[in-house]
């Protein structure tokens, strides 16, 4: 006899309880409350094949309430994924175990995205649903036809990013997106009455979502609601009424079950209440068999999909596209064109010119902007908008939703088959930062086109002028921050960003800047992160290290210093992370490790000097801006902060004099 849904669900409850108990750390409440709903989803609806977690046409499942990680670990184990093993579950939250505190996409195939920072799972799922509809429009039902399911908690739906994500999903009519809301009326502090009065369902309806309600503790009722959601063309919110920690007789329904082990006594009481096996980490054979069968249920759909793929004339193209490799054939002809006609342009414009070459050559790119299309120069001529009526479009009007855009781009990138890039002002990376951090942590190939990269943006003033942003983004691991100095560097940086297995930020100017690279090079010079743009003409006394718009300035400064008899190198440093990754001898060659008395190192960047000691040494000179900006035309602003050739040259010579350097 087939075990009841409740018995299947109780296996999740048992494993969650036991793993949290073993770790004496973790969150049993959420998995225990949502076990029935998850059972309905995984046994009846979710299209997956546990033997191939990477099957491209699988449904995507996002556990947005990532603190309930034992829910997904239990499901992956029960349905027969290779990992986690039962032993992995016993090592929940321990060093080296893939069963990390929160689900990490890089630890376990089957965990599609990294969740834990509340709200972002739903927002990434929106991106996955966009990618699915786009690829469906391009390749048709036979190759791409799947759904994105989410389990979200109260916290996910309270976070600000949820409003952005829900608005975008409703606007794009992402009917393949279904969110199951664990409506347990509890968060860490206690009842949701402490902090929430809004009508969450009505909010989704107002955003053009379909909504349904069900008893989240009754798998059949959950199934009924999922059927309704599938039948509706709009994205769906299913409100699952649940009880946190369901099955723990003395603690269920209370915040005590949210994030702490239940304790030996309560676990025993729960075992009795739920009729579980007396021994921990034990799943009855018939229950495990039924779960394993559920894990193989998708195998036939998978096989049918494979034969459709084999029969498809577009198989090679589809497979290549999913692999993420990009054709960089666009770069050389583009560089030749730039070098044939060097002229001053803004790097945001140079980025658009690069994109005019990239977008036709690389059909995987999907551009967009958070309502700054004309300022970010992100839309190339041939790109059509991606809309509810035309998912084949490749340009997304994200609206003023920087965080939502960045999170959606993470979801798109992790879905695979598309390379998202999106723009806003560099200063508003602050609004997107939590998702940028998840791009980095998850190694999602997302390209941030961040324009108006310094006080050089001018009149918009201090609110819009980034100061600490470049350095704060460089402080983030696993992301590359590029600040190209002209059109050639911009193209080189685009090529690097496209080839990267992680996220990149392109910091681009609003204002025109002169060409600094006027000769062809066989190598992508930006690939090493920093390179000697201009060697000293006389005995080297000074190395000017500059980025972006300050490279041209450094060249002018070097002329003045050379005229005073001081040999001056100019080093362009478009990407500090790449430079740091170079072998010691290369770094030594560019920035010799000698005292600043022998060779003075000077950094020039129109942003905070914080951190530039790394390249100038403590006794070097750092030229930057350590205060908020000013509202004035760009030339006046730069003049005010001393970013002119004469002022910088004077500072360098004064510094040398003061330090007694000849
Ligand atoms: C952005 C963010 N803020 C705070 C937290 C810490 N946190 C983890 S779970 C949680 C409460 C979430 O409540 P709910 O979603 O209702 O989960 P439940 O208690 O029902 O399991 C909080 C505040 C977090 N993970 N992410
Ligand atoms: Mg809750």
pLDDT tens column, 174-206: 999 999 999 999 999 999 999 999 999 999 999
pLDDT at 594 exceeding the cut of 90: yes
What pLDDT sits at residue 660?
Answer: 87
> Which ligand approaches the C-alpha of residue 27 most closely?
1
Burial class (CB in 10 A: 0-12, 13-18, 19+), 463: exposed
Taking residues 405-424, what's their average pLDDT? 98
C-alpha distance from residue 139 to each of 72, 146, 224, 315, 378 (Å): 30, 13, 31, 10, 25
Phi, psi of 579 (to 5 degrees): -65, -45
Sheet holding 365-369, edge to edge: 395-397, 365-369, 419-425, 447-451, 504-508, 480-482
Q: Could you identify the residue written with the tokens 């003045």?
A: 560
Choose which residue among 118, 185, 191, 239 to substitute to test ligand 1 binding: the one with the highest number of ligand atoms within 8 A of its C-beta.
118
pLDDT tier at 403, thresholds 50, 70, 90: very high
Regarding beta strands 567-572 and 419-425, do their DSSP bridges make them parallel or antiparallel, or are they unpaired? unpaired
- Could you give the CA distance from residue 83 to residue 99 in angstroms, rounded to a whole number? 9
C-alpha of 403 from chain center: 10
Q: Where are the alpha helices (DSSP H) in 522-643?
A: 549-563, 576-580, 584-590, 613-616, 634-640
| Tokens found for residue 265 | 């006594």
Instruction: Report whether residue 154 contacts ligand 1, using a CB cutoff of 6 Å.
Output: yes
Does ligand 1 have an atom closer than 6 angstroms to the CB of 187?
yes
Q: In whole angstroms, give the CA distance from residue 647 to residue 662.
A: 20
Q: Is 31 a residue whose pLDDT tops 80?
A: yes
Structure letter (DSSP) for residue 561: H
* Ligand lying nearest the CA atom of residue 30: 1
Q: Give the position, in ligand 1's atom list, of the atom nearest the Cα of 119.
A: 1
pLDDT of residue 432: 98
CA distance linking residue 37 with residue 344, whole number of Å:
60
Is the model's pLDDT at 211 over the cut of 90?
yes
630 near 640, Cβ under 8 Å?
yes
Task: Give the Cα separation of 117 and 104 in Å (integer).
Answer: 12
For ligand 1, atom 8, which residue shows the shortest CA distance? 67
- Both tokens assigned to 340: 């044939």
pLDDT at 661: 81
| Reported confidence tier of residue 135, pLDDT bands at 50, 70, 90 | very high
DSSP H stretches of helix in 312-428: 315-323, 331-340, 347-361, 373-376, 402-415
Answer whether 26 contacts ligand 1 (Cβ < 6 A): no
Residue 225: which residues within 8 A CB-CB, separation 6 or more? Answer: 212, 213, 214, 238, 240
For residue 614, count other CB atoms closer than 10 A to its CB.
13
Burial environment of residue 279 by CB neighbours within 10 A (0 to 12, 13 to 18, 19 or more): exposed
Task: Say yes or no: CB of residue 184 within 6 Å of ligand 1.
Answer: yes
Tell me the residue length of the chain. Answer: 662
- Residues 6 or more apart in contact with residue 599 via CB below 8 angstroms: 540, 541, 542, 543, 592
Classify residue 559 as exposed, middle or buried by CB count within 10 Å of its CB (0-12, 13-18, 19+): middle
Asked if the model's pLDDT at residue 662 lies above 80, the reply is no
Q: What spacing in Å lies between the alpha carbon of 146 and ligand 2's midpoint?
A: 28
pLDDT digits (tens, 9 = 90+) for 423-477: 999 999 999 999 999 999 999 999 999 999 999 999 999 999 999 999 999 999 9
- Retrieve residue 326's tokens: 């990009």
According to the model, what pLDDT value does residue 659 have?
87
Task: Report which of 452, 420, 456 is spatially closest to residue 436, judged by C-alpha positions.
Answer: 420
pLDDT of residue 1: 82
Per the DSSP assignment, residues forming a β-bridge with 236 are 178, 210
**What's the pLDDT tens digit per position in 219-263?**
999 999 999 999 999 999 999 999 999 999 999 999 999 999 999
Question: Helix 331-340 vs helix 347-361: angle between axes, to the nearest 10 degrees?
Answer: 140
Contact (Cβ atoms closer than 8 angstroms) between residue 284 and residue 277: yes
Residue 545 pLDDT > 90, yes or no?
yes
pLDDT band for position 59 (cuts 50, 70, 90): very high
Instruction: Give the separation between CA 631 and CA 295, rounded to whole angstroms.
Output: 61
Active site residue 459: no
Give percent helix, percent strand, percent coil of the chain, each to the nearest 5. Answer: 45, 15, 40
Q: How far is the CA of 3 from the centre of ligand 1 (A)?
A: 33
C-alpha span between 541 and 598 (Å, rounded) = 6
Which one, of 71, 94, 129, lies nearest residue 410 by Cα? Answer: 129
Closest ligand relative to 70 C-alpha: 1
User: Which pLDDT belongs to residue 430?
Assistant: 98
Residue 264 confidence class, pLDDT cut points 50, 70, 90: very high
The confidence score (pLDDT) of residue 360 equals: 98
Q: What is the mean pLDDT of residues 378-401?
A: 98
- Residue 78 pLDDT more than 90? yes
Q: 155, 182, 243: which to mutate for ligand 1, most atoms within 8 A of CB?
A: 155
pTM given for the model: 0.98
Report yes or no: 507 and 337 within 8 Å, Cβ to Cβ.
no
Ligand 1 site, residue 437, Cβ cutoff 6 A: no
Which residue out of 402, 489, 492, 605 is catalytically annotated?
402
Ligand 1 pocket check for 368: Cβ under 6 Å:
no
Instruction: Share the mean pLDDT of the chain.
Output: 98
pLDDT of residue 602: 98
186 Cα to the center of ligand 2, angstroms = 4
Ligand 1 pocket: which of 63, 187, 189, 407 to mutate (most atoms within 8 A of CB): 187
User: Is residue 121 in contact with ligand 1, taking CB distance under 6 Å?
Assistant: no
Q: How are beta strands 186-187 and 190-191 bridged, if at all?
A: antiparallel
Q: How confident is the model at residue 313 (pLDDT cuts 50, 70, 90)?
A: very high
- Rounded to an integer, what distance in angstroms lies between the CA atom of residue 508 and that of residue 345? 11
The dihedral built from the CA positions of residue 16, 21, 22 and 25, taken in this order, carries a sign that is positive
Least distant ligand from the CA of 121: 1
The 10 Å CB-count burial string (b at 16+, else e) for 74-107 is bbbbbbbbebbeeebbbbbbeeebbbbbbbbbeb
pLDDT above 70: percentage of residues in the chain: 100
Beta strand 540-546 pairing with 531-534: unpaired
């Amino acid at each position: 006899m087939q075990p009841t849904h409740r018995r299947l669900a109780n296996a999740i409850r048992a494993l969650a309880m036991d793993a949290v108990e073993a770790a004496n750390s973790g969150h049993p409440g959420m998995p225990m409350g949502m076990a029935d709903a998850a059972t309905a989803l995984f046994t009846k609806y979710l299209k997956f094949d546990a033997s191939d977690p990477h099957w491209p046409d699988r449904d995507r499942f996002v556990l947005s309430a990532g603190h309930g990680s034992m829910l997904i670990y239990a499901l992956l184990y029960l349905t027969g994924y290779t990992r986690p093993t039962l032993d992995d579950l016993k090592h929940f939250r321990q060093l080296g175990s893939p069963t990390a505190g929160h689900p990490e996409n890089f630890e376990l195939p089957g965990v599609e995205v990294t969740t834990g920072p509340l709200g972002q799972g739903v927002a990434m799922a929106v991106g996955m649903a966009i990618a699915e509809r786009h690829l469906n429009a391009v390749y048709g039902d036979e190759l791409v036809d799947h759904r994105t399911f989410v389990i979200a908690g109260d916290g996910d739906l309270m976070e600000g990013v949820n409003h952005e994500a829900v608005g975008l999903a409703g606007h794009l009519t992402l009917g393949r997106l279904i969110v199951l809301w664990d409506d347990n009326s509890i968060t860490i502090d206690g009842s949701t009455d402490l902090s929430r009065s809004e009508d969450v369902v009505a909010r989704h309806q107002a955003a053009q979502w379909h909504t349904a309600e069900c008893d989240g503790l009754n798998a059949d009722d959950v199934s009924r609601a999922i059927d309704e959601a599938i039948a509706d063309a709009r994205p769906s919110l299913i409100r699952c009424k649940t009880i946190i920690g369901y099955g723990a007789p003395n603690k269920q329904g209370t915040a005590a079950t949210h994030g702490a082990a239940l304790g030996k006594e309560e676990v025993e009481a729960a075992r009795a209440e739920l009729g579980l096996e007396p021994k921990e980490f034990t799943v009855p054979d018939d229950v495990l068999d039924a779960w394993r069968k559920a894990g193989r249920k998708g195998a036939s759909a998978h096989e049918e999909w494979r034969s459709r793929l084999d029969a498809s004339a577009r198989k090679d193209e589809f497979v290549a596209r999913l692999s993420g490799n990009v054709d960089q054939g666009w770069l050389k002809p583009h560089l030749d064109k730039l070098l044939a006609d060097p002229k001053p342009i803004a790097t945001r414009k140079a980025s658009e010119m690069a994109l005019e070459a990239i977008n036709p050559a690389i059909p995987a790119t999907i551009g967009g902007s958070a309502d700054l299309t004309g300022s970010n120069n992100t839309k190339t001529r041939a790109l059509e908008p991606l809309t509810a009526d035309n998912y084949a479009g490749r340009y997304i009007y994200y609206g003023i939703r920087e965080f939502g855009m960045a999170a959606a781009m993470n979801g798109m990138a992790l879905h695979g088959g598309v390379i998202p890039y999106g723009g806003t002002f560099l200063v508003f990376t602050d609004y997107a930062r939590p998702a940028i951090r998840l791009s980095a942590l998850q190694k999602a190939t997302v390209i941030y086109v961040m324009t108006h990269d310094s006080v050089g943006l001018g009149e918009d003033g201090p609110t819009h002028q980034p100061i600490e942003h470049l350095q704060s983004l460089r402080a983030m691991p696993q992301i590359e921050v590029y600040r190209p100095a002209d059109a050639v560097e911009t193209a080189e940086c685009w090529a690097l960003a496209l080839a990267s297995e992680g996220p990149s930020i392109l910091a681009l100017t609003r204002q025109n800047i002169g060409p600094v690279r006027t000769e062809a090079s066989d190598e992508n010079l930006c690939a090493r992160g920093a390179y000697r743009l201009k060697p000293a003409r006389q005995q080297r006394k000074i190395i000017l290290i500059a980025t972006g718009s300050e490279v041209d300035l450094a060249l002018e400064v070097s002329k003045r210093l050379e005229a005073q008899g001081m040999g001056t190198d100019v080093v362009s440093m478009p990407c500090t992370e790449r430079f740091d990754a170079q072998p010691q001898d290369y770094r030594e060659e560019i920035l010799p490790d000698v005292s600043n008395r022998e060779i003075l190192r000077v950094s020039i960047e129109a942003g905070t000097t914080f951190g530039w000691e790394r390249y100038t040494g403590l006794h070097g000179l750092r030229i930057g801006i350590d205060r908020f900006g000013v509202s004035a035309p760009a030339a006046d602003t730069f003049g005010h902060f001393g970013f002119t050739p004469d002022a910088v040259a004077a500072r360098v010579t004064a510094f040398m004099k003061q330090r007694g350097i000849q």
